[in-house]
Amino acid sequence: MPVPMLRTLVTGGAGFLGSNLTLKLLSEGRQVTVLDDLCTGFASNIPEGVRFIQADVCEPLVGEYDEIYHLACAASPDKYQAEPLQTLRTNFIGTSNVLELARRCGASVLFTSTSEVYGDPRVCPQVESYWGNVNSFGPRSCYDEGKRVSESLCYTYSERYQVRIRIARIFNTYGPRMAPDDGRVVSNFVVQALQGKSLTVYGDGSQTRSLCYVDDLIRGLVCLMHAQGANLEAPVNLGNPHEMSVKEIAEKVLELSASRSQIAYRPLPQDDPTRRCPDIQRARGWLGWEPEVSVEKGLAATIDYFRGQLT
């Protein structure tokens, strides 16, 4: 019996994670459509063989799909804070549209939520049952609260309309295909190191981040979409529990890129989280997933990628 080809929609498929995911789905023989308005993504990221719809996810959506990976939303603080109302709209209206489309055509939806739903956490590592410490009235709230309301929409469509949903709470992920100017910690450090500029560390650099290599994360997303069993509508943390201070990350980038750049300290932005580390027991138990790529290997591959981009 031939296996039926799944019709897959990737919203935000021209971005960093979306384009890596699209490549993975194509390699598995999926028929992929990318919907993206290119606000932070690039048409050049979309591989051949993919149907591309250039559109805002806030516009009504049509089509017939079996699976929808819903990634559309600017992820870098610089970008989502530049257009805060659009960030809120993308999360509320865009996620509503995706879930409505899924309800009509019977598709499964995987929503890419974020560790930012935990805000500046009082619990470390962050476990899914922790409800977070989020400031609803500040510059990051358009994203943090936007993602929280998106999770609530997923819950409601699952309860009310039995839409099959999956929620990945993604922790800092990095790797090839990140935009060099998107202002995230790894891309900033690598680009600065390769250009011989000082690496900008905010605060004293003691705040922590846990870095997940993109291949690990994408494997986790696909695994979560297809996992069967009870309770799988509940959010699942996907990230690397190896916690490092921002200063350590900067030093590792300098070492691996053999750069002579210095570290420059700048004031900490408002509401910058001090601790970030996922508890991944749920992902381990429910999906049999855990990260495999070491930070040395992942950073080295990322440095190679940016070296190619910058020359």
Ligand X SMILES: NC(=O)c1ccc[n+]([C@@H]2O[C@H](COP(=O)([O-])OP(=O)(O)OC[C@H]3O[C@@H](n4cnc5c(N)ncnc54)[C@H](O)[C@@H]3O)[C@@H](O)[C@H]2O)c1
Binding site for ligand X (CB under 6 A): 12, 14-18, 36-41, 56-58, 71-75, 90, 94, 112, 114, 170, 172-173
Q: Residue 36 Cβ, how far from ligand X at the closest point, in Å? A: 4
For residues 73 and 86, what is the distance between their CA atoms, to the nearest angstrom? 9
Q: Which is nearer to ligand X, 15 or 235 (CB)?
A: 15
Cβ pair 240, 212 in contact under 8 A: yes
Q: Residue 117 Cβ, how far from ligand X at the closest point, in Å? A: 10
For residues 285 and 259, what is the distance between their CA atoms, to the nearest angstrom? 40
Q: Which residues sit opposite 109 in a β-bridge?
A: 68, 165
Counting Cβ atoms within 10 Å, is residue 180 exposed (0-12), middle (13-18) or buried (19+)? middle
φ/ψ of 192, rounded to 5, equals -60, -45
Q: Residue 209 Cβ, how far from ligand X at the closest point, in Å? A: 10
Q: Which is nearer to ligand X, 140 or 261 (CB)?
A: 140
Concatenating the DSSP letter of every residue in 94-117 gives IHHHHHHHHHHHT-EEEEEEEGGG
Q: Residue 155 Cβ, how far from ligand X at the closest point, in Å? A: 17
Cβ pair 67, 25 in contact under 8 A: no
Q: Which is nearer to ligand X, 217 or 303 (CB)?
A: 217
Tokens encoding 67: 């699976």
Q: Which is nearer to ligand X, 172 or 207 (CB)?
A: 172
Counting Cβ atoms within 10 Å, is residue 67 exposed (0-12), middle (13-18) or buried (19+)? buried
Q: Which is nearer to ligand X, 239 or 261 (CB)?
A: 239
Q: Which is nearer to ligand X, 5 or 181 (CB)?
A: 181
For residues 37 and 42, what is the distance between their CA atoms, to the nearest angstrom? 9
For residues 273 and 116, what is the distance between their CA atoms, to the nearest angstrom? 8
Cβ pair 191, 203 in contact under 8 A: no
Catalytic residue among 65, 80, 118, 143: 143
Q: Residue 135 Cβ, how far from ligand X at the closest point, in Å? A: 18
69 is catalytic: no
Beta-carbon contacts of 130 under 8 Å, excluding residues fewer than 6 positions away, are 118, 121, 123
Cβ pair 145, 136 in contact under 8 A: yes
Q: Residue 2 Cβ, how far from ligand X at the closest point, in Å? A: 33
Tokens encoding 309: 């981009």
Residues carrying an active site annotation = 143
